[in-house]
Amino acid sequence: MPTRPKPGRSAVTRRAVVDLVRTATLGSYGVTGFAGPLPERLLGRLGLAQPGIGVHLGDALDIDLDLTVAYGVPVAEVARQVDSAVRYAIERAIERRVRRLTIHIDGLRLEPGGAPPSVVHADPTAIGPRDLADSGTDVA
């Protein structure tokens, strides 16, 4: 039996909004972490600050992000993914629109298993790392 919604208010803390933003951002394609000034990063390791995330609550919701991105991914696409994910998470969780979302890419990070280093062979007849894979031979 459906009930009618009752008017009321709910309070959302800044910490809750930061947690929503962090989760949505880190789940986005290409994001490797948050950046920020050194003092803020040190406080973040102690659990006293959230480096790379700035949330300004008030009449409107403004968010500033400082991110590091995986090397070799299109930075513009990462920014679009983060923008979409953060706006969706906020609107779905607290039913407020984000007025301004600013994304700063502060660095690129080479992740393990990321872009392989380019190898130049001095001898063109030498066997290279792709030769076996390109031959179609199955290796167990």
Domains of the chain with bracketed CATH: 14-111 (3.30.70.1350)
Average of per-residue pLDDT values in the chain: 80
Name the 3-class secondary structure at 41. Answer: helix
The pLDDT confidence band at residue 139, using thresholds 50, 70 and 90, is very low
User: Could you read off the pLDDT of 54-88 as tens digits, one per residue?
Assistant: 999 888 899 999 999 999 899 999 999 999 999 99
Q: Residue 36 carries which side chain, given as an amino acid letter?
A: G
Task: Please identify which residue in the block is written with the tokens 């007025």.
Answer: 99
Name the 3-class secondary structure at 105. Answer: strand
Give burial (CB, 10 Å; 0-12/13-18/19+) of 69: buried
